[in-house]
């Protein structure tokens, strides 16, 4: 579990780094590292028999993947 939580924390540090440098957009790197962390948590939950937690975590993976896909496929719009 520590590996999954560590990756999720690292993802947030990555996003914070970009924000502190003036880029307030959601970073694809943040989403990717976050997804890997949650997948690790899900696998560990399945192995431990915590299926409800694993299913809930997989829902967040799907939402994150969709967000990443939209970020990578769509063009930025000017405000």
Question: Where is pLDDT greater, at 77 or 50?
Answer: 50
Burial label, 58 (beta-carbon count in 10 A; 0-12, 13-18, 19+): middle
Q: What average pLDDT does the segment 46-62 reach?
A: 96
**How confident is the model at residue 75, as a pLDDT?**
76
pTM, entire model: 0.89
The alpha-carbon radius of gyration of the chain (Å, integer) is 14
pLDDT class for 79, splitting at 50, 70, 90?
A: low
The percentage of residues in the chain with a pLDDT greater than 70, rounded to a whole number, is: 97
**How confident is the model at residue 1, as a pLDDT?**
78
Dihedrals φ, ψ of 78, to 5°? -80, 140
- Closest among 61, 65, 68, 62 to 26, alpha carbons compared: 68
pLDDT digits (tens, 9 = 90+) for 33-48: 999 999 999 999 999 9
Say if CB 54 and CB 38 are below 8 A apart.
no
């Amino acid at each position: 579990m520590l590996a999954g939580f560590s990756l999720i924390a690292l993802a947030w540090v990555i996003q914070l780094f970009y924000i502190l440098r003036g880029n307030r957009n959601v970073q694809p790197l943040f989403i990717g590292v976050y997804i890997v962390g949650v997948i690790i948590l899900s696998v560990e939950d399945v192995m431990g028999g915590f299926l409800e937690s694993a299913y809930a975590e997989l829902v967040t993976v799907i939402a994150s993947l969709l967000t990443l896909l939209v970020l990578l496929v769509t063009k930025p719009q000017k405000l």
